[in-house]
Amino acid sequence: MDNSAYDWESGEGVSGIDDPAAVDAAFERGERPLGSAVIGLAFNCSPEEASPRIIRAMQLPDRDQRGFAFTAAGVVARLRGDLTPELYAALRVEGPSGFAEHAIRDTLTFVPFGKLQPWFKRRWVLVTVRDKLEGWWLRSEDAVGEAWRALRRRRS
């Protein structure tokens, strides 16, 4: 995509950007839709090319654009099945609540367990066990509710 296809003022076209140098120049100019732009890089560039720009966008003062940067990290995990060490570190620092929650979930879902870094492996185990226990709890709650309803019908 040539640079004339990006309208930095309106944000039109920046989510399809595939030129890391154009994003670097936009950072230098202080453009607003940089979070959207790094999503484009996540789709169109290698993780190694996109990662430094995604991490830089994670520090933006605009909450929405920062959120888009974390979305970009999740896109990398979904499409590439791995993250750069820097992206793993950034997600770990942000933690499982807030902006990084969905990107961490994407990482745990789409990156093979063997490729995960130790903190993410522990997180995977925690989330898997918690989800399994929650499922059992909900199924037992349903069974108890059904038994209670059957008992009440029988008494009526």
DSSP string, 29-87: HT-STHHHHHHHHHHHS-HHHHHHHHHHHTT-SSHHHHHHHHHHHHHHHHHHS---HHH
Residue 150 pLDDT > 60:
yes
Mean pLDDT within 120-134 = 92
Q: pLDDT at position 3, please?
A: 53
Q: pLDDT at position 50, please?
A: 97
> Does 7 share its domain with 71?
yes
> Does 11 share its domain with 56?
yes
> Does 77 share its domain with 146?
no
Mean pLDDT within 107-128 = 95
> Does 63 share its domain with 134?
no
pLDDT digits (tens, 9 = 90+) for 53-81: 999 999 999 999 999 999 999 999 999 99
Is there a contact between 6 and 22 (Cβ–Cβ < 8 Å)?
yes
Q: Which domain holds residue 146?
A: 120-156
**CA–CA separation, 87 vs 71, rounded Å?**
12
Is there a contact between 38 and 68 (Cβ–Cβ < 8 Å)?
yes
> Does 64 share its domain with 95?
yes
CB contact set of 91 (below 8 Å; sequence gap of 6+): 70, 73, 83, 100, 103, 104, 107
Question: What pTM was computed for the model?
Answer: 0.81
